[in-house]
Amino acid sequence: MIAEIVSTGDEVLTGAVADSNAAYIAARLYEIGIPVGRHVCVGDDLERLTAVLRESADRADVAVVTGGLGPTVDDITAMAAARAAGEELQANSTARAYIEEFFKRFNRPLSDSDARQAEMPASARPILNPVGTAPGFTMVMGGCRFYFLPGVPFEMRRMMGDNVIVELQAQCADDKTQGFYREKRLSLFGLPEAHVNERLARLTDSLGDVKLGMLAEFPVIHVKLVAQGPDPEGMEARIEKAAAEVREWVGAYVFSESGQTMEEVVGGLLTAHSARLALAESCTGGLIAHRVTNVAGSSDYFVFSAVTYANAAKINLLGVSLDTIESHGAVSEETAREMAEGVRRVAGADYGLSVSGIAGPGGGSPEKPVGMVCIGLCGPGHSFARRYAFPFENRMANKRIFAETALDRLRRTLIGAGDIQDKMQGET
Amino acid sequence: MIAEIVSTGDEVLTGAVADSNAAYIAARLYEIGIPVGRHVCVGDDLERLTAVLRESADRADVAVVTGGLGPTVDDITAMAAARAAGEELQANSTARAYIEEFFKRFNRPLSDSDARQAEMPASARPILNPVGTAPGFTMVMGGCRFYFLPGVPFEMRRMMGDNVIVELQAQCADDKTQGFYREKRLSLFGLPEAHVNERLARLTDSLGDVKLGMLAEFPVIHVKLVAQGPDPEGMEARIEKAAAEVREWVGAYVFSESGQTMEEVVGGLLTAHSARLALAESCTGGLIAHRVTNVAGSSDYFVFSAVTYANAAKINLLGVSLDTIESHGAVSEETAREMAEGVRRVAGADYGLSVSGIAGPGGGSPEKPVGMVCIGLCGPGHSFARRYAFPFENRMANKRIFAETALDRLRRTLIGAGDIQDKMQGET
């Protein structure tokens, strides 16, 4: 069985946005053992899209097509599918009823262009969209089963998981020629990519048929272990053996082996400790709080963050002493420590975590350059502050690595591990 | 002239990384007036890649191929190009000398696999790589000029700019049938996509050769006006005329015509008013502060954000009255108003902006469902609070649209415009 992925839309074709949908769909298909032959991307061009669909129908067994199902004049995917299949486009009554229901629920009038989203090729079966108005659909052309999904990533992902993967898995179970794919991800923070690479280079011979790959998602590095082949027997055991070898070399930097983000790992640890967290952020500007609160249920352990950009806010709201700021500067271990202690006190939390640094592009000095950050952590019976230096001039890069360093510092405290090693500094 | 883009590599095909190269190349080609017909992505598979190259040779005038030029066994692009063209693969002496020089410069021994990177089809002309070891090359197959570049993004970008774009521009200058491309973007917030579409649908006839497109970047919608053709004369004037027509129908929702984000626009307005901003965020969890502080120089106008997730924090730190929370709830116009007033007072800011709502997935009730948010704004001489309802169940979607609504509310106040229209509610 071989799959193809088709992305439609001028915004992808012209480079206005990168095609993240194709990567997501490919990863999901590989997970259930369906190899992908190619991705194709075309614009909102009826003739070209029709041609691309016909080609996939000739070549592939499964095709997932995204985009062009919305209510606008650019949305021509259903028409192209109908032409490619030589069918009429007609309003599907199930899809129509669902769209009407969606609009009724939110007291919105149903316009003609909204209603047009229920139109699909005559032989198509609708795939309802639980999180948006544009339904998808599935149909067979040539020897290929097509799935048409919306281009909005969270709608596509939901329908991919709820419908497409479930259907395809049922089919794969019957197909004995099918290839299998197993993957494990170890997520690392605190070691530069080149160092991870060097440490793991010596492993490539000893891992057997398990393939080792690295994926940098700044500032995190995922080490991927992949086994692929016709026989799923023992694949997981071989991957686990390889993971043990990887841990031997970089284990101190692994924060997750389950795909969890740093904020999810920290949230789980805070829950396990029944501990409540307060934050005092300066240069990260709310990013740490934003990440912590992206985790559903974070209100159980997250109390408060003070984004104290101005010094007056640090003094008046967190009780940092003017003297400390004047003698050591706003970006100093001393100020970071007082911020952490202050926010822990005012919020009545178990842990106070603080960040003060220079994200850039301006504001640096020879003594305190852009990329320098001080992190404070105050918890039951201890208070910690430390300075780190990173080599980035980019504001977003610094905000990200400062936030990750702070959360990792808290994680290490909660699991009783030491501080991030000195290698990290200035090298990531 | 029509271009195609081919990306190779298992890491892109399997979804381990998103194909950002294709987006970059497409954008560069459009800039010089070369439209792209399609992108194709294939893995490290000699047979499939050869087939894809032959197809592009038949269909396109220009093709840019990335990836598979390195020293490893997976790097099969040169071999595929030779097969597709029916040529021999041979070591190119210029490329070989350049690679030798590169290794000498860094005192590295030249291995056989490194040297293999100088091999290319007999008719190919090398494109030297100033920032890496793998040279690219260019050749003609069928009616199509191919450019083969490395997949490492910064190497590809450098060679794309230094060589490919320069060569193609020279060709375009001689080609009188060549298209030019001009684009203007109007960024809107506050009107659902279907409504923007309906309002603008009537314009499609009156815009002449200016093409109207829409790009949703949730929760913002960009209306794109594009002129393309052999004559650049008057293109900008025609786009401006079209923009005036677009403004007539949706002008009240346009917050930027320069590509600026909402936080950049708000930052510019605060600077112009010499006004200082403080935030009180509940359900947005720091996202508004994060966005405001993504703008370099935001420390000039941004003072403080209190991310008060817990009610105790709202009461103790912002002075919201317990009575207000008990009678009206934490998610209410009354609480939002007191949060805005409180943070303005404690931070000594000119404007206090607050958000309290239910981002989900849990925590909703029939009376206060997920997607409901109250926004408070307190400024010199006025205090405002209002409830909005959005139809999303997704936590991230709600955080995003709540943050955008709050910033837009501030923007509207700063320019003296009224509140976002009622259309917005429950419809985006």
Provide mean pLDDT across the span B289-317. 93
Report which secondary-structure segment, H or E, holds B7. Answer: strand B3-8
Grade residue B232 by pLDDT with cuts at 50, 70 and 90.
confident
Q: How many Cα atoms sit within 13 Å of B27 on the Cβ side?
A: 13
Q: A262-424: which CATH number, 3.30.450.20, 3.30.465.10, 3.90.950.20, 3.80.10.10?
A: 3.90.950.20
Task: Residues A3-173: name the CATH superfamily.
Answer: MoaB/Mog-like domain (3.40.980.10)
The answer to whether B182 touches B243, Cβ cutoff 8 Å, is no
pLDDT for A82: 97
The answer to whether B184 touches B257, Cβ cutoff 8 Å, is yes
Q: How far apart (Å, rounded) are the C-alpha atoms in residues B45 and A332?
A: 54
**Is A154's Cβ below 8 Å from some Cβ in B?**
yes
Report which secondary-structure segment, H or E, holds B53. Answer: helix B46-59
pLDDT for B65: 97
The answer to whether B285 touches B309, Cβ cutoff 8 Å, is yes
Q: Do B289 and A294 touch (CB under 8 A)?
A: no
Taking 60 as the threshold, does the pLDDT of residue B177 lie above it?
no
Provide mean pLDDT across the span B294-320. 92
CA dihedral A164, A166, A171, A174 (to 10 degrees): 160
Q: Which is it for strands A351-357 and A277-281: parallel, antiparallel or unpaired?
A: parallel
The answer to whether B243 touches B184, Cβ cutoff 8 Å, is yes
- State the CATH class of domain B3-174: alpha beta
Of the candidates A103, A221, A341, A172, which has an alpha carbon nearest to the alpha carbon of residue B426? A103
What percent of chain B clears pLDDT 90, i.e. is strictly above it? 60
Contacts of B399 in chain A (CB under 8 A): 290, 293-294
Torsions phi, psi for A392 (to 5 deg): -95, 150
Query: Strands across the sheet with B277-281, in order?
Result: A382-389, A372-379, A351-357, A277-281, A302-308, B302-308, B277-281, B351-357, B372-379, B382-389
Of the candidate ranges A334-343, B121-130, B209-218, B357-366, the one whose mean pLDDT is the lowest: B209-218
**Is A59's Cβ below 8 Å from some Cβ in B?**
no
Alpha helices by DSSP H, listed for A160-286, are 165-173, 193-201, 235-250, 262-272
Contacts of B426 in chain A (CB under 8 A): 106-108
The answer to whether A414 touches A353, Cβ cutoff 8 Å, is no
Sequence ranges of the domains in chain B: 3-174, 180-256, 262-424
pLDDT for B422: 43
Grade residue B427 by pLDDT with cuts at 50, 70 and 90.
very low
Q: Which residues contact B405 (CB under 8 A, 6 or more apart)?
A: B190, B373, B375, B388, B420, B424
Average per-residue pLDDT in chain B?
Answer: 89
Taking 50 as the threshold, does the pLDDT of residue B146 lie above it?
yes
- State the CATH class of domain B180-256: alpha beta
**Is B46's Cβ below 8 Å from some Cβ in A?**
no
- To test the contact with chain A by mutation, choose from B309, B350, B396 the residue with the greatest count of A C-beta atoms within 10 A, namely B309
Task: Indicate the residue of A15, A17, A23 with minimum beta-carbon distance to B15.
Answer: A23
| A158, closest residue in chain B (CA to CA) | B394
pLDDT for B421: 54
**Is A303's Cβ below 8 Å from some Cβ in B?**
yes
pLDDT for B175: 61
Q: Do B197 and A289 touch (CB under 8 A)?
A: no
Of the candidates B423, B301, B328, which has an alpha carbon nearest to the alpha carbon of residue B385? B328
**Is A251's Cβ below 8 Å from some Cβ in B?**
no
| A33, closest residue in chain B (CA to CA) | B14
Q: Do B194 and A313 touch (CB under 8 A)?
A: no
Rounded to 5°, the CA angle A322-A324-A327 comes to 105
Rounded to a whole number of angstroms, the distance from the CA of B130 to the nearest CA of chain A is: 21
pLDDT for A51: 96
Taking 60 as the threshold, does the pLDDT of residue B43 lie above it?
yes
Contacts of B293 in chain A (CB under 8 A): 283-286, 307, 309, 399
B63-82 pLDDT tens trace: 999 999 987 777 899 999 99
Taking 70 as the threshold, does the pLDDT of residue B178 lie above it?
no
DSSP-assigned states of every residue in B347-385: HT-SEEEEEEE--SSS---SSS-TTEEEEEEEETTEEEE
Contacts of B197 in chain A (CB under 8 A): 71-73, 113
| Tokens 């929370």 found at | B325
pLDDT for A177: 53
* Predicted complex ipTM: 0.74
pLDDT for B148: 97
Of the candidate ranges B131-135, B285-289, B337-341, B380-384, the one whose mean pLDDT is the lowest: B131-135
- The top-scoring range by mean pLDDT among A269-283, B4-18, B103-117, B226-240 is A269-283
Of the candidates A4, A115, A110, A17, which has an alpha carbon nearest to the alpha carbon of residue A70? A115
Grade residue B205 by pLDDT with cuts at 50, 70 and 90.
confident
SS3 B122: coil
| B293, closest residue in chain A (CA to CA) | A285
Taking 80 as the threshold, does the pLDDT of residue B243 lie above it?
yes
Task: Indicate the residue of B30, B43, B396 with minimum beta-carbon distance to A15.
Answer: B30
Does B394 or A244 have the greater pLDDT score? A244
Q: Do B19 and A18 touch (CB under 8 A)?
A: yes
Q: Do A307 and B304 touch (CB under 8 A)?
A: yes
Taking 90 as the threshold, does the pLDDT of residue B339 lie above it?
yes
Q: What is the pTM of this model?
A: 0.75
Average pLDDT, 10 consecutive residues per value, chain A (428 residues):
92 76 89 88 93 96 94 88 96 92 80 89 94 91 95 90 90 64 88 76 78 78 82 86 94 94 97 97 96 94 93 92 95 97 95 96 90 96 91 86 96 85 41
Q: Do A290 and B294 touch (CB under 8 A)?
A: no
Report which secondary-structure segment, H or E, holds A377. Answer: strand A372-379
Task: Indicate the residue of B18, B214, B317 with minimum beta-carbon distance to A19.
Answer: B18
